[in-house]
Amino acid sequence: MASSYILASSLDAMAHLERRDHNGLQVKFNSSIEYIFTQPSGLFPSTDISILGEAEKRTFHGAPLILTYDGAHCVYRGSMVQRREQDGPAPIPVDVALKWVVGDERIARLRHEAEFYEKWLGPVCGIAVPRYYGFFIGTVENVTVACMALEWCEGLPIENVRELNRQRMLAATKLHEASVFHGQLLDPRHYIPMRDGSLRIVDFSVAKVHRCPGSVPLSLDNGSGDPRPAETCGELDVMESRFGVDAESYGRQLRWANGMYPELVRSFYYMY
């Protein structure tokens, strides 16, 4: 019996290692503390991420500080290596953002976001949204933790307001071409500047699949020319009225001509 138990345990351990080699995630904090996660979808190869920078200041008794209260979340910067086939080229480290969450609600939202990356956002990854490297889940200090690896995005803020709004519109349009309704595009925290002057949209925790009918620019002469279509996209209409018109020099006049008076509506730039 004992030998059978040892053999079964060894086989279980080998099976675990085999799964780890194929699509698991190993996260390393402070060069010594390691956590192992599994990848439900199995879309990506085995991955190693070493947390960089100030991570050790955000830990508690060796474990990430996030574990000290339920529903917490953090974004760590890490260096990622995805393991390739034995005869393949040597992997090249990539800087990633590791979104790390606990609590049932936050884990559900992160899983929802990962589903959009895996099913809908592929065509615009690296164009309008960060590149996606997988969703993982595991247990750390008896707490269930979920994490998602994304391209680390950084660049200088776009100081020219017209160019900033033009880039917002370009990114939002690409998103809708991929049939995704974001739901929070008025929040400036959801736009990350890139070094090439473009933007990446982030946070798809409340996103919806969307058949986008498109939108049309606002006009100063609202009583002539071609009529507006019967159906337009509510989110793109909002983007046009808040940001698109400000890519021009007469945005205020455009809003007034279309019955929009942000001076009288405090939530105009924050809610839709």
CA-nearest of 112, 97, 107, 114 to 138 is: 107
Axis-axis angle for helices 161-177, 234-242 (nearest 10): 170
CA atoms of 117 and 185, how far apart (whole Å): 17
| pLDDT band, very low/low/confident/very high, at 66 (cuts 50, 70, 90) | low
Contact 113, 205 (CB under 8 A): yes
Banded pLDDT at 186 (limits 50, 70, 90): very high
**Chain segment 187-225, per-residue pLDDT in tens:** 999 999 999 999 999 999 999 999 999 887 777 765 555
pLDDT for the residue 54: 58
Q: Which of 100-104, 155-159, 268-272 has the lowest mean pLDDT?
A: 268-272
Q: What is the mean pLDDT of the chain?
A: 81
- Give the rounded percent of residues in the chain with a pLDDT score beyond 70: 77
What six digits make up the tokens of 26?
Answer: 């190993």
Interatomic CA distance for residues 121 and 174, integer angstroms: 10
What are the C-alpha distances in Å from 45 to residues 23, 89, 207?
5, 14, 26
Tens of pLDDT, residues 80-95 = 998 776 666 778 899 9
The answer to whether 239 and 245 have CB atoms below 8 angstroms apart is no
CA distances 217 to 1, 35, 158, 268, 272, Å, are: 76, 50, 23, 18, 18
- Taking only the tens place, the pLDDT of each residue in 228-261 is 667 889 899 889 888 877 656 677 777 777 777 7
pTM for this one? 0.81
**Assigned token pair, 49:** 């991420």
Which pLDDT score, from 0 to 100, does residue 221 have?
67
Q: Is the pLDDT at 147 greater than 70, yes or no?
A: yes
pLDDT at 72: 66
pLDDT of residue 182 exceeding 60, the answer is yes
pLDDT of residue 36: 93
